């Protein structure tokens, strides 16, 4: 069929590699306003995914509910920022998937200078301390101005913002996981900073824990206890904030932070709950229309489906811990983030990432401090009950209750 006879919005192109062979990494292009966009995901491709691979089969299942609503189909499209095509080709495999990656969702806006500096700090920290790539999905129309040469392991994708459907912008976190075609992923926010290469272990551990038999994303323990059962013990102080909702099940775990790790086995879970939220429908008795944020939905969905695994905390607040706790081996405090029903001694911590740091200068200072410590002995990254440990296995052996609560 001649090109002129093809559907004007969608056509197939072939990218010839240097040896002259067609590459399947970049085979789909969407024509928008006369400009070809190299697609990563869309409903047609997801629904026609190769079911001979487990990840293709899981992607097809994830897409079934989301793509069934005509209004939602356009939100299932993601494409490569043209400046990052080279990084994309080096990072993604011939099947169009990436094996392991950190994944960030954000919205580039013309005047969001501090926010973009924080995102830049996150990318910089990944390039300093991780061996894995990072995929950013921009749900805004403005240029992000990141440099593919400065950040050779960064892939920048573009997608449409689901907040236009009347939900929180943060539900784009689900979209980023569903549209980035990452087989094993860890979701990061822009206000985070990586502090140690040991965080890369999350990928291996996710492969081991999130399987066909246990296909649920895993969240790290939150600093807040939100279990209604502990409301009777609340005296107005401390790290307690009750969570209740229409149709909420009994919590199966402590409240988790919205930094999910997943494998391709998790994609149907993410797809069905995202579809329910975008349709404001009930799922297994839960009224998703009344669940306001991504973190809320992740926790309630995991409880509803009987999930039982969570990571120990690997994302303490701020970035000052690199000098105040990590390298000084100074306790963050007795019974840190303790609750009355599960973590009575406090939450075990892995000082992998800082989280919720809103001041770019503090991130820059923390990165400078870590650079100055490169010649020093590797610090003990794990902490629990007033003691630091070199390995999590050492911590778990010394405190046999911990593996029944959280793992790393």
26: confidence class by pLDDT, cuts 50, 70, 90: very low
- Decide if pLDDT at 3 tops 80: no
pLDDT score, position 211: 98
> What is the average pLDDT across 271-276?
98
In the predicted model, what is the mean pLDDT of the chain?
A: 92
Torsion of the alpha carbons at 236, 237, 241 and 244, rounded to the nearest 10:
-30
- pLDDT per residue as tens digits for the range 323-338: 999 999 999 999 999 9
75 has pLDDT over 60 = yes
For residue range 288-306, what is the model confidence (pLDDT) as tens digits? 999 999 999 999 999 999 9
- pLDDT value for 35: 62
Q: Which pLDDT tens digit goes with each residue over 153-203?
A: 999 999 999 999 999 999 999 999 999 999 999 999 999 999 999 999 999
Cβ–Cβ < 8 Å for 315, 301: no
Separation between Cα atoms, residue 393 and residue 372, nearest integer Å? 29
Identify the bridge partners of residue 105 per DSSP, sorted by sequence position: 137
Side-chain-side CA neighbours of 364 within 13 Å: the count stands at: 7
pLDDT at 12: 30
**Percent of the chain scored above 70 by pLDDT?**
91
Q: How far apart are CA 326 and CA 91, in angstroms?
A: 32
Contact status, residue 158 vs residue 137, Cβ threshold 8 Å: yes
Instruction: Encode pLDDT of 51-63 as tens digits.
Output: 999 999 999 999 9
Res. 15: pLDDT tops 70: no
Q: From CA 219, how far away is CA 201, in angstroms rounded?
A: 15
More confident residue, 15 or 208: 208
- Could you tell me how far CA 322 lies from the centroid of its own chain? 22
Do the Cβ atoms of 215 and 231 come closer than 8 Å?
Answer: no
**Contact in structure between 209 and 309 (CB atoms under 8 Å):** yes
**What backbone phi and psi angles, to 5 degrees, belong to 361?**
-65, -30
Q: Cβ distance 331 to 217 under 8 Å?
A: no
Q: Assess whether pLDDT exceeds 80 at residue 13.
A: no
How many residues in total does the chain contain? 408
pLDDT in tens, 214-241: 999 999 999 999 999 999 999 988 899 9
pTM, 2 dp:
0.92
Per-residue pLDDT, 36: 77
pLDDT at position 382: 98
Residues 179, 182, 188, 194, CA torsion sign: negative
């Amino acid at each position: 069929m001649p090109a002129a006879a093809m559907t004007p919005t969608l056509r197939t192109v072939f990218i010839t590699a240097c040896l002259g062979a067609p590459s399947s990494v970049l085979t789909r292009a969407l024509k928008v306003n006369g400009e070809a966009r190299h697609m990563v995901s869309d409903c047609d491709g997801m629904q026609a995914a190769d079911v001979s691979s487990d990840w293709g089969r899981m992607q097809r299942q994830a897409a079934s509910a989301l793509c069934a609503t005509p209004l939602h189909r356009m939100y299932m499209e993601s494409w490569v920022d043209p400046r990052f095509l080279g990084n994309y080709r080096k990072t993604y495999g011939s099947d169009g998937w990436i094996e392991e990656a950190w994944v960030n969702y954000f919205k580039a806006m013309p005047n969001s200078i501090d926010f973009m500096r924080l995102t830049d700090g996150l990318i910089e920290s990944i390039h300093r301390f991780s061996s894995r790539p990072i995929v950013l999905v921009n749900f805004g129309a403005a240029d992000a101005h990141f440099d593919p040469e400065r950040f050779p392991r960064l892939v920048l994708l573009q997608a449409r913002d689901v907040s236009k459907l009347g939900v929180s912008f943060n539900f784009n976190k689900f979209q980023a996981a569903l549209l980035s075609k990452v087989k094993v992923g860890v979701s990061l926010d822009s206000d985070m900073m990586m502090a140690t290469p040991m965080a890369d272990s999350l990928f291996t551990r996710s492969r081991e824990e999130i399987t066909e038999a246990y296909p649920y994303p895993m969240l790290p323990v939150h600093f807040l206890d939100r279990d209604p059962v502990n409301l009777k013990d609340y005296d107005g102080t401390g790290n307690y904030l009750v969570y209740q909702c229409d149709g909420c099940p009994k919590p199966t775990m402590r409240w988790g932070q919205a930094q999910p790790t997943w494998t391709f086995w998790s994609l149907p879970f993410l797809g069905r709950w995202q579809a329910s939220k975008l349709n404001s429908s009930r799922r297994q008795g839960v009224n998703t229309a009344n669940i306001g944020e991504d973190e809320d939905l992740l926790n309630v969905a995991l409880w509803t489906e009987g999930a039982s695994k969570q990571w120990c905390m690997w994302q303490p607040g701020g970035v000052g811990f690199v000098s105040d706790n990590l390298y000084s081996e100074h306790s963050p405090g007795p019974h840190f983030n303790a609750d009355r029903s599960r973590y009575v001694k406090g939450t075990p911590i892995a000082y992998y990432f800082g989280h919720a740091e809103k001041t770019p200068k503090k991130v820059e200072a923390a990165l400078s401090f870590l650079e100055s410590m490169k010649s020093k002995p590797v610090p003990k990254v794990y902490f629990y009950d007033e003691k630091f440990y070199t390995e999590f296995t050492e911590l778990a052996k010394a405190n046999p209750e911990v593996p029944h609560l959280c793992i790393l």
